[in-house]
Structure 1
Amino acid sequence: MDMIKVVSFRVGVIGLAYKRKLSFMFFLFLICFFNGESMQAANDDGNLGQEIQQILDGSPELAGALMGISIRSAESGEMIYELGSQTRLRPASNLKLLTAAAALETLGEDHVFQTELYIKGVQVGHVLQGNVYLKGKGDPTLLEKDFDELASSLKHKQVKLVHGNLIGDDSWYDDIRYSRDLVWSDEQEYYGAAVSALTASPNDDYDTGTIIVEITPGEKAGKLATVMLKPETDYVKVINKMKTVAADGKKKIKVERSHGTDVITVTGTIPEHAGVTEEWISVKDPTEYALSLFEKSMKKHGIKVLGKRKKGKTPVGADLISTHQSMPLSQLLIPFMKLSNNGHAEILVKEMGKEAAGEGSWKDGLKVARNQMEGMGLNMETIKMRDGSGISQVNMIPANEITKLLYAVQEKTWFPAYLNALPIAGDEKRMVGGTLRKRMKGTTAAGNVRAKTGTISGTSSLSGYVTTKRGERVIFSIIVNNFVEETGITAIQDKIAVMLAEQEKLLVSDL
């Protein structure tokens, strides 16, 4: 029904109700009914609402689930379609959209994380009578080669023997390692790694605070498999119970870290000639992990430490030997958002707290993030933000608030970096397609949809931007909660995104 007809008909109904002295309750019912119909007509603008409803009606996976859909014009911010859009739902990793925006606004896209190397003591010839201090300031991208570079600066000072201790300083942030709602069973998982100001990553995916366990079949069936760590470190202990089986045998690998320890147990079977299998697992204490890698780098450069590896603060008056800088935040956003890196999110929260409030904690960082979101027009009274990554089952946000944010950030000078960090549908390149690289392939949404995914138990979300065939950019957020089976949920989101990409007519009413 077009808007003018709806308005005229509504006026007629009101007059009729008055003339015939209908009951007040029935009068209200008529007003609400036609108000709702006119709103739907404005929002659906043709068959858009019907197309979405057909997708939902044909999706038995949604039985008993909760859904929030918000679609608005990227140009005007005007709402195009909404369903359950004001209902607070768990966003999973869609919360990273808020964290990234708050971090860019607070820290700036050129922000870098530093790692500093100090010495305190007296050097006599090649001997340092004192301690070496490695001070972390939150860099989640430190690799083994970076520790090598720091160690080489100490070698450049002609130090070959440290008659003292090697001390890791992680005091830039507080000593709380996990966000408050992280369940203990997730602590060993790469996505639940502990957070520290001094940490390390095993490769350029930058899963900070984790290590890669490499399993290779033994020489023949019946032999133990070979288990290696990448990077190699003496910080963790590996118990290898992995057996090699015949080539036609079953591959079943289980890698576990005992709760509260750094003992990694590898069990199961791997067939002959199966090749190398890699599994990521978190370490108990990222500071000690990073310190072990730095000591290994020192040994590689011919520097021996007579004392112990310890944690402590860098004393006033220590001599700064070298500083390593991370990539700028604009580049760090790519692995953070493309691969949905939880560790990066939580580090950014603590860094915001350190930068704006002087305390590198979740409490202060989340307060800064909430203030930034409020400044961008979000209604924080309807949002619960308990961490930066979205792993908490207590986080809640309506879909409308996400599209409101995605509309507001377009005016920011850092928006190109923000948009560039979003996964691109159907692009197989890991640091381009990210978590969307295998979705919507071969559709009009491929190479078009730029959106953040989100998945935790019973929750799936997809929010971002899509350009229609007519060339209009549209903002959308689709959040599904409380489903039982995960199969098919992302396909529903993809169908809606593809449907938006295929729209040929103006979606927003000109009325």
Structure 2
Amino acid sequence: MNEITTARAPAETFGGRRRHRRPKPMTAATRRALVLVTAAPVAGVMLAGPSAYAAENPGTATPPVPAPDSDSSAQPAAASSEQKLIDNLNTRINDPRLGNTFSGVVLDSASDKVIWGHNASTALMPASNAKLATATAALTVLGPEHRFTTKVVYGNGTLTLIGGGDRTLTTDDLAELAKTAVAGLKSAGVDNVKVRVDDSLFPEPALAHGWNDGYYPDTVAPVRALAVDGRHVTDTSLDAGKVFAQHLAADGITVDGEATRGRAERTDVPVARHKSPRLADIVHRMLKSSDNNIAETLLRMTALGAGRPATFDDGTAVVRHELRKYGVPLDNVQLHDGSGLSRASRIPAATLAALLDLPTDPRYARTLGAVLDGLPVAGEAGATLSTETGRFDDPDSRCAVGKVRAKTGTLTGAVALSGLTKGDDGKWKIFSFVENNSTAQMSATKDALDGLAATVNGCRA
């Protein structure tokens, strides 16, 4: 396959492969405008422009303005703006902070035309941009309304806390489970129990290809089906069992010994259960904070949802299968985990841009809308693109605060930024920039990528 290295490419191709074709009962630009206008807003931060992410209900959204390319009188100005963007990017990718190993692409969201590309099909370490693939597959296989269930069962004097893959479970949730269980125990005249945790939904934790022991437990905890408060500990299941036992004791039940690990019996009686937030909300949280633990848990739950074992290999195989069905180009793609921590994973910018293109398609907006909604906004407090973390805070990028949504990615030797923004020509553009092996300070490389995003937006002259 030929890499995209020229400033333009045919509209029906992307990353060297024919793109998914869209039915066109209305113009592609109008369809895309409708999706972008009706996407849900981020609390406290709004992208610039009166129609951008203006309303969740299409009936109350600002009607989309006809796309500039539908008006012949606007074409010269649009062409001039596009050429300026191409020229600026061609100049700015030579920034020494970006090094010599760089993959980038800019796509017109309405037409799918590749506006600009540089080694766009070259597969590089994507870092946490790999979470875009995990999120897309999870939402597709499980559905945005899916919820994970944590259960408590009782039998033979033992309460068993059963993990269901909810990485958002909190101490308060365990307190409610304990309260419900205690009510049932007391009504049955039971005031003394043992506590057991059952995390057999997932196989024993293992290191993904490209991980090292140093990741545990600070960067990512060993992946188990039970955890509380997102804590980074070596055994999240026993940690949750300990918290559960403490709440039982606080509610008047004597707990015999420490929590242990084991499997629930078929004859055990259900006494309590807790449902997680919707998967769409969990994906939103994962992307905003780039949560590695949620990503690895979702990879396993996606594998289980597709009828396969909850392993790294089966999870990534399901991800590839689902992306292939969408027509996302997978040439040269290598996936080894759900979080992007693996230094052996490789994804081209062309593939990352194609992933972000999917939820802008009205056919997929309901299923995949959480991906767009979960992208951090430049300058958004509490997310990975906040100015407090050093993003979009220098003269080249400060103008794009509130105007860019993008997923960050950071590993030693790899920095990525993939997202979308409304350009100064009024058109929505999807971009992906991936850098590997720069010798510059990582903060400097991030600044350079933020500057490229501001270039796509057009606010950086």
TM-score range, shorter chain: 0.7 to 0.9
State the alpha-carbon separation in 1 of the partners of residues 161 and 191 from structure 2.
14
Residue in structure 2 matched with residue 492 of structure 1 by the alignment: 448
Amino acid at match of 2:416: S
Partner of residue 450, structure 1: 405
Matches within 5 A, 1:4-403: 45-57=82-94, 59-63=95-99, 65-121=100-156, 130-159=157-186, 163-189=192-218, 191-201=219-229, 208=230, 210=231, 282-403=232-353
How many angstroms apart in 1 are the aligned matches of 2:263 and 2:301? Answer: 18
Q: In the alignment, which residue of structure 1 is the partner of 2:386?
A: 437
Contact 2:185 2:191 in 1 (8 A): no
Shift of 1:447: 1.3
RMSD (CA atoms): 2.3
Once residues 271 and 209 of structure 2 are traced to their aligned partners in structure 1, the CA distance between those partners, rounded to angstroms, is: 37
SS in 2 for 1:81: strand
**Counterparts of 2:460 and 2:236 in 1: how far apart (Å)?**
52
Indicate the residue corresponding to 2:63 in structure 1. Answer: none
1:416 pairs, out of 369, 373, 378, with 369
Q: Distance in 1 between matches of 2:88 and 2:302?
A: 42
The runs of at least 4 consecutive aligned structure 1 residues that moved more than 3 Å come to: 42-45, 158-164, 441-444
8 Å Cα contact 1:135-1:198 kept in structure 2: yes
Secondary structure of 1:414's aligned partner: helix
1:161 Cα deviation (Å)? 5.5
Q: Against the structure 1 CA distance between its residues 503 and 305, is the aligned structure 2 distance closer, same or farther, given a 3 Å change threshold?
A: closer
Listed one character per residue, the Cα deviations across residues 199-229 of structure 1 (whole Å, up to 9, x for unaligned) are 111xxxxxx2x2xxxxxxxxxxxxxxxxxxx
Deviations, residues 298-340 of structure 1 (Å, cap 9, x unaligned)? 1111111224421111111211001101100111122200000
Structure 1 residue 195: Cα displacement: 1.0
Residue segments in structure 2 that go unaligned for 5+ positions in a row: 1-6, 9-78
CA distance in 1, matches of 2:428, 2:439: 33
Preserved CA contact (<8 Å) 1:163 1:307? no
Report the TM-score, using the length of structure 1 for normalisation.
0.69
CA distance in 1, matches of 2:455, 2:425: 13
Residue 136 of structure 2 aligns to which amino acid in structure 1?
A
Q: How many pairs were matched up?
A: 373
What is the letter of the counterpart of residue 354 of structure 1?
Answer: L
Letter in 2 for 1:347: T
Q: Aligned partners of 1:327, 1:178: CA distance in 2, in Å? A: 28
Displacement of 1:293? 0.7
Q: Cα offset for 1:165?
A: 2.6
- Distance change (3 Å), C-alpha of 1:43 and 1:309: farther
Tell me, what secondary structure is at the counterpart of 1:104? helix
Deviation at 1:45, TM superposition (A): 4.6
Q: CA deviation at 1:62?
A: 3.2
Whose Rg is larger?
A: 1
Given residue 196 of structure 2, which amino acid in structure 1 is its aligned partner?
I
Task: State TM-score, norm by structure 2.
Answer: 0.77
Tell whether the 8 Å contact from 2:192 to 2:255 is kept in structure 1 after alignment: yes
Task: Look up the SS of the partner of 1:436 in the other structure.
Answer: coil
* Contact 2:328/2:351, CA 8 A, preserved across alignment: yes
| CA-CA distance at 1:46 after TM superposition | 2.2
Percent identical among aligned pairs is: 28
Q: Secondary structure at the match of 1:488?
A: helix
Residues 283 and 462 (structure 1 numbering): CA distance in 2 closer, same or farther, change over 3 Å? same
- For 1:185 and 1:306, how far apart are their aligned partners in 2? 35
Q: Secondary structure at the match of 1:435?
A: coil
SS of the equivalent of 2:110 reads coil
Q: Call closer, same or farther: CA 1:504–1:290 in 2, change over 3 Å.
A: closer
The structure carrying a bigger strand percent of its residues is: 1
**Mapped partners of 2:92, 2:299: distance in 1:** 37
Does structure 1 retain, via aligned residues, the 8 Å contact 2:107–2:115? yes
Please give the secondary structure, in 2, of the residue aligned with 1:453: strand
Deviation at 1:135, TM superposition (A): 0.4
The offset of 1:294, in angstroms, is 0.6
Q: 1:479 offset after TM fit, Å?
A: 0.4
Deviation at 1:67, TM superposition (A): 0.4
Work out the CA distance in 1 between the residues paired with 2:301 and 2:368: 20
Separation (CA, whole Å) in 2 of partners of 1:302 and 1:162 = 7
**Per-residue Cα deviation, 1:144-175 (whole angstroms, up to 9, x for no partner):** 11111111012212438565531100011112
Q: Distance in 1 between matches of 2:80 and 2:409?
A: 26
